[in-house]
Structures are given as structure tokens and as C-alpha cells.
Amino acid sequence: MARLKAGDAAPAFALPDQHGETVKLADFGGGQLLIYFYPKADTPGCTRQACSIRDAREELRDLALAVVGISPDQPARQQKFDDKYGLTFPLLADPDHRVAAAYGVWVEKTSYGKKSLGIIRSSFLIDGAGKIVAAWYGVKPEDTVPKARKALSG
């Protein structure tokens, strides 16, 4: 799948969150949304990323920016992650990788000489009309919020 860029339509999704409720892209119609994809709940990088978003929740609320995280984890694992760190935003389960593939983040990776498929940590800023404002592939965990902040301010 080709990488998404500014101006592209954000691929629609309907995925279960950590509470078992279905969350859809359409639920955020008319508002701005930050979607971030992460490889696995409760791992060091994913925890740093999620906690940085949690810690910026008031600022993000002031910017009228909703957030959802998406990983291949099942809802029960997402719930444990949320409970452990008090994340308080939707963590969506994409175990079949369909949504990750649609966003171009389910890719072949090489680690220690072995090839496998997995998530490349990425985030997307989506406007109220469902268009990509900015896409960051391979984003560092601590850069998710600053990149969104910069895109919204200028």
C-alpha cells in the first residue's frame, strides 16, 4: 500500500476499542482527529508514546483534537494497557491488520536479519472533512504530540 499524504481521504475504519465498543472514523466527523498506530501495547516505546499523549490531553482538548491509538492487540490487552497507565482515550484493536494496511503502516520489516510483517509506528492528523492534514511514518514515540501541535499551529 502506498503511503498516505496530505489531501488524501483518510481510510474509513470500524474497530473495537478497549471496552468492546465499536469506534468508527465517522464518529469524529466534523472534528479533528489524531490517529496513531503502535506495534504492541505495554512495550517501552508504545508506553512512552501513549503516556505522552495522555499527559497532553488538556492541551489536545484545547486544540479540539481527539485521539485514537490503533494496534494489532486484542481489546482485552488494550484494556489492561489503559488500566495500567490511565490513558482514557480509545485504543482500537486491529488484529487482522486491515486498517493498518489501508494506512500503509503494515509493512515488511527486517530485524536481526529476519523479515517479518509489522506496524511501523506512524501518526496521522485528520481534519473534520476526513482528509489527511499530515502523515508521519516512522515517528518516534516522543514526537507524536509535538508534530501534531506544530501542524495545528502553522
Give residue 153's pLDDT band: very low, low, confident or very high (50, 70, 90): confident
Question: What secondary structure, in 3-state letters, does the chain show?
Answer: CCCCCCCCECCCCEEECCCCCEEEHHHHCCCEEEEEECCCCCCHHHHHHHHHHHHCHHHHHHCCEEEEEEECCCHHHHHHHHHHHCCCCCEEECCCCHHHHHCCCEEEEEECCEEEEEECCEEEEECCCCEEEEEEECCCHHHHHHHHHHHHHC
Query: Would you say residue 14 has pLDDT above 90?
Result: yes
Give the predicted TM-score (pTM) of the model.
Answer: 0.94
Residue 126: predicted pLDDT = 97
Q: Is 51 marked active-site?
A: no
pLDDT per position as a tens digit, 24-77: 999 998 899 999 999 999 999 999 999 999 999 999 999 999 999 999 999 999
Mean pLDDT of 80-91: 96
The residue from 4, 46, 65, 139 that is catalytic is 46
pLDDT per position as a tens digit, 95-144: 999 999 999 999 988 878 889 899 999 999 999 999 999 999 999 999 99
Give residue 1's pLDDT band: very low, low, confident or very high (50, 70, 90): low
Domains in the chain and their CATH numbers?
A: 14-153 (3.40.30.10)
